[in-house]
Amino acid sequence: MSGEHSLTQTQVLKELVRRVHAGEKTSTKSELCETFDRSTGVVGRALGNLIYRKLARSVSMSSYVPTAAGMRLIAAGKTVNSGPRPGKQQAPRKCGKEDSLRARLWRAIITLKKFTVSDVIQRAARDTDANPAPAARRYVNYLVNAGYLVELPRRSNSGAYPKQGEKIFWLKDSAGRLPPRVRKSPDGIPGMFDPNDKTYRPFPTSEEGKAA
């Protein structure tokens, strides 16, 4: 949703390397956002892809450093390949995958943009789905942790929990109709892979969160 797509992985990696040479042990996401004047989502996606390619690593929840491979790449004057990630080629997606519960939940989310979990369940769930409510809450948690969704401060007085109010979420970012998938990077860092723009977003922690 953001138009801030001009920040490249090479720019971020160069800045990480520059900071190391300047004597700074780590770089935080907020520092990088200030340096490039970009949102946390844009910077986070670049960092996630660098981590996936083993050119950078996370040393804490929000601190990052270049790896030895990343340092060598910049020293050699090379750029980060923005094409498909190295590794195993993904098998073509079967049509059935596009009609999974998570695929339907994601389509409901990008259609509604502002919603409660009950809203997307009502649109996406079918009689053949087993336990759609907890599955929907888990998927919303993942999307919040990956930066796709934001929990709004106010609550709905309708839905499944009218007395205490149900949480309302807002779609902050979307690259297309294919549902982001939970996946670990080669380094074992949990996050989500977006098949629409082939980007990877690490979760801020290894926990699933408590958004929904």
Express each pLDDT in 106-127 by its tens digit. 999 999 999 999 999 988 998 8
Whole-model pTM? Answer: 0.56
pLDDT at 114: 93
- 59 is a domain residue: yes
**62/108 same-domain check:** no
Task: Tell me which of 44, 75, 106 is where a domain ends.
Answer: 75
- 83 is a domain residue: no
**110/172 same-domain check:** yes
**63/100 same-domain check:** no
pLDDT at 30: 85
- 183 is a domain residue: no
- 56 is a domain residue: yes
> What's the CA angle centered on 206, arms 204 and 207, to 5 degrees?
95
Q: How many domains are there within the chain?
A: 2
Within 8 A by CB and 6+ apart from 206, the residues are 190
Region 3-19 average pLDDT: 82
Mean pLDDT lowest for which of 60-64, 100-104, 184-188? 60-64
Residue 29 to residue 158: CA distance in whole angstroms:
37
The rounded mean pLDDT for the chain is 82
Region 11-18 average pLDDT: 94
- 187 is a domain residue: no
pLDDT at 157: 66
Identify residue 34 by its one-letter amino acid code: E
The H-or-E segment that residue 78 falls in is: none
Is residue 125 left, alpha or beta, with left meaning phi > 0 and alpha meaning psi from -120 to 50? beta
- 102 is a domain residue: yes
**154/111 same-domain check:** yes
Domain of 15, in residue numbers: 9-75
Tally of CB atoms within 10 A around 203: 22
Of 50, 51, 49, 13, the residue nearest 32 (C-alpha):
13
The H-or-E segment that residue 197 falls in is: none
CATH number at residue 112: 1.10.10.10
User: Is the pLDDT assigned to residue 131 strictly greater than 90?
Assistant: no
H helices then E strands: how many in the chain? Answer: 7, 9
pLDDT digits (tens, 9 = 90+) for 139-177: 999 999 999 999 998 887 654 444 567 899 999 999 899
Task: Tell me which of 42, 75, 108 is where a domain ends.
Answer: 75
